[in-house]
Amino acid sequence: MNEVANSNAVGGALVDALGPKELEALIAEALDAAHQQGVDQAEVAASHDVGLSATARFGEVENLEYTNDRGIWVTVYKNSRKGSASTSDTTPPAIREAVAKACSFAAYTAEDPHSGLADAKLMCSDFIDLDLDHRWDINAQQAIDMAIRCEAAALAHDKRINNSEGATVSTHRGARAYGNTHGFVGSLSKTSHSATCIVLGEQDGDMQRDYYYSASRDSQELEDLEFIGQTAAERTVARLGARKISTTLAPVLFTPELARGFIGHAMSAITGSAQYRKASFLLNAAGEQVFPEFLRIEERPHLPKAMASAVFDAEGVATWDRDIVSDGILRGYILSSYSARRLRLETTANAGGPQNLIVSSNADDLDALLVEMGTGLLVEELIGHGVNAVTGDYSRGAVGHWVENGKKQYPVHEVTIAGNLRDLYRRIERIGNDRDLRGGIRCGSLLVGEMTIAGT
């Protein structure tokens, strides 16, 4: 057992984390030191995260971790040169030393006319409450007990479940703050909680593993622990007896948790850094028909309790609602102020990444899409990283079920699904309304009309 802190310490530590206003005071101190150094511009980020994670395996504590991380990141700009430094020591002398180091480093970097703060007029001024902070006051023993309950439900579900990688219950609470020499300072507190279970099963010498998890800002919205364990067991048992299939062309249906990654490849390709480096299969694609006409991808940064909500980005720029894709047409890129300047465009308030992408649906849930697909491959896990970001060539190992007459017939493994993303995106036929809310991309089950499935 790896125990980093005793349970009594863990029980109160989540409450004792530095608050946003305390972090803002540290930022003010760093900016004042930067001003004394005579820099042209400066920006400072500060954070403090506290967390507890307990893992149980076969009813015993396997891992217990308590985290307490804080830090300050300083960036200065002088004569179009940039210098950065960071420290986990938040005492005044350490902060002044970090600022001094950042200033000294700036003397060695090349001039970059695109560097600097985002425009002052774009700074956020309306700090609406997005309801992201829901503290879960559990101590180590409570977390352990919950993990044991979760795993026990999985182990008891089916006699073919004969091994476990454990169940984990985690809670984290953190505060973030950012400020710059435009006079902007903003901060927030947020939490994230999760429960995960991973088990293995065996039948006639065939061994398989699978998992299930629940994650939320609010612990009250986590799924039932016994349900998480039972679902992990059900998914594992459903894989037993997996077969290979012959190479074919057929429709492919992605589950929601995989569909968001499939869409995510396009989002990575339209980031500013991918565009100005000319390392994107969607290079200069703004205004082009990338997806079918029915498809829309909305960015909605201000959703309460959502996993990627933010009122300002990592540069203090106010976020806003927009359509990244509408009628299947790519309407713009995902830009920070730096990448926007490189492309002679305006920032989209995406320094730090996009916030809550919602993919439209034109169908019901996974079960309905199985019926619509009729015959094809339901993909439930992807293996490997066979995606070429420059060409769009896509080749991933896949595990799932072969479907006929709209029903799962048998589990499938050791196959590869392949194609080019430019072509595959246009072949998307249906997207379900069963969106996975556990990440920053909210997408339902996704049906591609035809893909190459390489088997025996």
Name, in order, each residue with C-beta under 8 angstroms of 305's C-beta and a sequence gap of 6 or more. 130, 131, 132, 134, 216, 217, 218, 221
Separation of alpha carbons 114 and 126, rounded Å: 27
Q: Which one is predicted more confidently, 219 or 1? A: 219
Paired tokens of 441: 């991309």
Q: Is the pLDDT of residue 16 over 80?
A: no
Separation of alpha carbons 213 and 320, rounded Å: 30
Task: Report the pLDDT averaged over residues 33-62.
Answer: 96
Separation of alpha carbons 102 and 183, rounded Å: 20
Q: At the fourth CATH level, which superfamily is domain 2-235?
A: PmbA/TldD superfamily (3.30.2290.10)
User: Where are the domains positioned within the chain?
Assistant: 2-235, 242-456
Task: Report the pLDDT averaged over residues 354-372.
Answer: 97
Q: Smallest Cα–Cα separation from 30: which of 100, 125, 79, 80?
A: 100
Paired tokens of 202: 């065996």
SS3 94: helix
Residue pair 318/126 in contact by the 8 Å Cβ criterion? yes
Q: Is the pLDDT of residue 400 over 90?
A: yes
In the sheet with 441-442, reading across from the earlier edge strand, the strands are 329-330, 322-326, 297-299, 357-359, 441-442
Taking only the tens place, the pLDDT of each residue in 155-168 is 999 999 999 999 99
Strand 441-442, strand 357-359: pairing? parallel
pLDDT of residue 17: 64
